[in-house]
Structure 1
Amino acid sequence: MSSIGTTSTPLRVAIIGSGPSGFYAADALAKSSLTTEIDIFDRLPTPFGLVRGGVAPDHQKIKSVTRVYERTASLPNVRFFGHVEYGTDVTLADLQQRYHAVIFAVGSASDKKLGIPGEDLEGSFAATEFVGWYNGHPDYRNHDFHLDDAEAVAVVGVGNVAMDVTRILARSQEELKVTDIADYALEALAKSNVKRIYILGRRGPAQAAFTNPEIKELGEMQEADIIVPAADVKLDSLSKAMLTSDEADKKDVRNVEILQEYAERAPEGKPKQIIMRFLVSPVEVIGEDKVEAIKIVKNELYADDNGNLRPQPTEEYETIPVDLIFRSVGYRGIRLSDIPFYDRWGTIPNELGRVVKEQGSDDVVPGVYVAGWIKRGPSGIIGTNRPDSVETVNSLLEDVAKDKVWSPHADTDIEGLLQDRGVRYVTWADWQHLDEVEQSLGKEVGRPRRKFTTIDDMLKALDSASQHAPGD
């Protein structure tokens, strides 16, 4: 029987990625019956992944989930190494020499394309870019969406991210200035000239992915009317049958009720309009040097061989003049060095969290595991990552009992390796200091926090704190 996980030989696990799935994996490991030592790595100096960089700034309650992660990070057998990039600062070989296993919890960092002519014109963006920008993510901090030159925007997709993008575009300054939105985004949105926001869904209202709270919020905006054409929420026979069946999702039923209520609501003459369209797909982005319009085709639904309702185009087309397009049709993972990748899905191939050499194969890569969106694809809410990560950790623990993990033998701890390589890593104590500074800066102006939005500013703040430490 394996001796790994004892006091003399603790189970040592590296987790790449400090978003929800990474922290839930760390928590599951820490709660196991084995003695564990867990190191969490992130390429940014800040933890929490999409909770910090993806959750909309006007959804502060959702961000409170980080308190759970903070408890995990504060455990004596858990360390955080921020500003350490896998594949650059540390390699798979480095990890293999120092840990029994690694769990990749890196999420889905890129977006899916529409695959239509004109998609790459200036003014056409992935929703991920806009979300990262207004949340102060260092990768997107310098983007310019020219909101002051845009009157009409198309948001392609009807998931919660599309709703977030729409809300932020439609919010008043009064609503935004009490959030933790990035300072530069607050300023740019104050100068925005956007008056019309079209939301385009390729299927019907009964198939929309957004949740009830998300669609209800759009009807409660201070400065925006919501307009839903009655024809777009009229249900076809297939959707009616779906909603009245025993398998109907209560979320879908309520979504349709809310949308039909909006269709009957008279506009109040607010300065902005949110116009929701269903059963339409973009077929072309029109423009010379930049986006000028989006051409859409009307769809109709049909049932495939498995009974799923799918859209198919008709011969009916329409052109909507717009200045900006945000596509929100899904996320994709990106390939990592020395790790198998399934390009079709944008995921790392795995079986119950165990990485395999090819999709559908049972040829396991020993010691390598995966959790979260990079494991299953971009689905679910934050809490969905908990059972997903627990499943992965259970697979890892089963392999530990069978001695099917790595046998580390390096002379130096990862901390020593990083120091030798001159990597300026950020500890959990460092992050706590940054967190305190951000919250203090926010408190001065009545906001939850004012974020550092560049890595240089984060590191400078830490350097300044160390220079003025007590006793110096």
Structure 2
Amino acid sequence: MRHIAIIGSGPAGYYTAEAAQKKFGDEVCIDIIDRLPVPFGLIRTGVAPDHQSIKAVSRRYEKTNLGDNVRFVGNVSVGSDVSVDELQGFYDAVVLATGAPNDRKLDIPGNELSGVIGSAAFVGWYNGHPDFKDLNPPLAGKSVAIIGNGNVALDVARILAKTQNEFRGSDIVAHALDALAQSKIRKITLLGRRGPHQIAMTPKELGELGHLEKARPVVDPLDFPDEGDDAMLEPGMRKSVTHLRSFYQRAGELLDKPITIDFDFFAMPVEIKGDGEVEQIVVERTELDKDMRSIGTGERYELDCQMVISCIGYRTPPIEGVPYEHGRGRFANTEGRILPGLYCVGWAKRGPSGTIGTNKPDGFGMVELIDEDIGAGDQKEGRKGLDRLMAERNVEAVTFRDWKKIEEAEIARARAGAPREKFTDIAEMIAARES
């Protein structure tokens, strides 16, 4: 019997568990460990609440967890409740699937001012992550600057611009919905260091901006290369750029919308100014060198804003005793191998890149490595050892059956038209499993 522990219950963790089930059948026992009492990681607290079709992939992960040889072990923190070394003593393979939940630091002067927020915190706030439920972002100002030209930046802009009616059917949490209803924001500026041909935005997310009730996207046609150059782009990127071009072509019909989402290309933030809180962001114009890298031109200008949201990437949090690449913000690994019996997968392995689906082949490839390394297993205790240790330390784990009770309670407390109202407090989650 092979005993595998997977740390993290997001897409990378569940795809790895699914692959192990298919590879080893009844000859494997898998524990999926998460510090939160609720599973699904990024799907629950990272995917935008108005993208329910993407969140539906959790049903696939649930099917994996309903197998007899897979167990969810929630409310257990690796590092404080149990160490990686201890887990390696119990399991033939320990797989770190912790994702990259920490914001990459915005390293410019003024980043410490009140009103400068990382996207992990802001997205976690409106998605009900317990760590960020008390964020209280400043929504009373008229302008916000969003740094980044990827889908996370688009999600943040869209959430800030939507009306209450447009959130119908989403699972945005009540505290965020109520706060956004009082928002005074009228100008949202997306700052990108490069141009329209270098964005990391997908067509679906861009297309949504053209159909918002009260907001209109604004682009400068002078930022674009000749339209014929679009033919050199790969199809998905070409569709995205076509959406951007359509925004200035349709500008006249969108003028009556009071909120603007301005795409400021070739714009590099260099400083944030304010007396204790954000008042302005200083931006330097950029141009592209022959390698398509952005370089500053020396031309600077200031934008008034009362909040800055940094969407410039994420980092995997280090774990004591596990080799780590600080420059890349991920665990040090060779094709997923960290140390004998210790592996990483997903963003913890490759950094924050790819889509949710990218984790599927990554997880299946990881199981092939594990099979190559551990064979039929090493007669370790597996979950019996973990259960004994948790009992000794009075660690109260949450099972998948417990999670289903929490989920039922969230569905029961949902507002009209919403699929659920998430608990944002861990103690409330724990209490709900006993209702």
Interval containing the TM-score (normalised by the shorter chain) = over 0.9
1:310-389 matches, within 5 Å, as 310-355=293-338, 365-389=339-363
| Contact 1:294 1:321 (C-alpha < 8 Å) held by counterparts | yes
Distance 1:63 1:194 in 2: 28
Contact 1:201 1:281 in 2 (8 A): yes
Q: Distance in 1 between matches of 2:131 and 2:381?
A: 36
Q: 1:281 to 1:419 in 2, by over 3 A?
A: same
Asked if 1:453 corresponds to 2:427, the answer is no
Match of 1:424 among 389, 396, 404: 396
Question: Quick one: which amino acid aligns to residue 243 of structure 2?
Answer: I
Which residue identity lines up with residue 300 of structure 2 in the other structure?
Y
Q: Map 1:31-430; keep pairs closer than 5 Å.
A: 31-33=22-24, 35-147=27-139, 149-232=140-223, 234-235=224-225, 243-245=230-232, 248-264=233-249, 265-266=251-252, 267-304=254-291, 309-355=292-338, 365-401=339-375, 408=380, 412-430=384-402
Deviation of 1:412 after TM superposition, in Å, equals 4.3
| AA matched with 2:317 | I
Q: Which has the larger radius of gyration?
A: 1
- Structure 1: gaps spanning 5 or more residues: 1-9, 356-364, 466-472
> Could you tell me whether the CA contact under 8 Å between 2:119 and 2:311 is conserved in 1?
yes
User: Matched residue of 1:31: which SS?
Assistant: helix
- Quote how far apart the aligned CAs of 1:269 are: 1.8
Residue 417 of structure 1, CA deviation: 2.0
Contact 2:91 2:382 in 1 (8 A): no
CA spacing shift, 1:386–1:116, aligned 2, 3 Å: same
Displacement of 1:413: 3.2
Give 3-state SS (helix, strand or coil) of 1:296's partner. strand
Counterpart Cα distance in 2 of 1:459 and 1:186: 24
Structure 2: distance between partners of 1:268 and 1:78: 54
Per-residue CA distance 1:79-112 (angstroms, 9 max, x = gap)? 0100000011111232122211100000012111
Distance 2:325 2:108 in 1: 23
Contact 1:96–1:408, Cα closer than 8 Å, also in 2: no
Q: For residue 421 of structure 1, report the CA deviation from its aligned partner.
A: 1.2
Scaled by the length of structure 2, the TM-score of the pair is 0.96
C-alpha distance in structure 1 between counterparts of 2:362 and 2:430, whole Å:
33
Equivalent-residue separation in structure 1 for 2:70 and 2:150 (angstroms)? 35
State how far apart, in whole Å, the 1-side matches of 2:260 and 2:156 are.
Answer: 14
CA deviation string 1:388-431 (max 9, x = no partner): 11111111110023x8x766358943223212211111000000
Q: Deviations over 1:16-52 (max 9, x none)?
A: 0000000000000011145100000000000000100
Quick check: 1:354–1:396 contact (8 Å CA) kept in 2? no
Distance (whole Å) between structure 1 residues aligned to residue 378 and residue 347 of structure 2: 24
The percentage of counterpart residues that share the same residue type is 41
* Between 16-25 and 31-40, the greater mean CA deviation after superposition: 31-40
Residues 428-471 of structure 1 deviation map (CA, whole Å, 9 limit, x = unaligned): 000011111111222x52211011111011111123x2xxxxxx
User: Compared with structure 1, are the counterparts of its residues 269 and 410 closer, same or farther at alpha carbon in structure 2 (3 Å cutoff)?
Assistant: closer
Q: Secondary structure at the match of 2:293?
A: strand
Matching residue's letter, 1:451 = K
Letter paired with 2:286: N
TM-score (ref. length: structure 1) = 0.88
Following superposition, which runs of at least 4 residues in structure 1 exceed 4 angstroms of deviation? 409-412
**1:43 aligned counterpart, secondary structure:** coil
1:240 Cα deviation after fit: 6.5
Offset at residue 285 of structure 1 (A)? 0.6
**In 2, Cα distance between equivalents of 1:174 and 1:409:** 53
The aligned length equals 432
How far 1:71 moved relative to its partner? Answer: 0.4
What per-residue deviation string (whole Å, max 9, x for no partner) do you get for residues 210-250 of structure 1?
Answer: 10011111111011111112222x217xx965x444xx311
- CA gap of 1:32–1:298, structure 2 versus 1, over 3 A, is same
Q: Is the 8 A contact 2:100 2:317 kept in 1?
A: yes
In the superposition, relative to structure 1, how do residues 145 and 290 fare at CA in structure 2: closer, same or farther (>3 Å)?
A: same
**In 2, Cα distance between the equivalents of 1:381 and 1:152?**
30
Alignment RMSD, CA only? 1.7
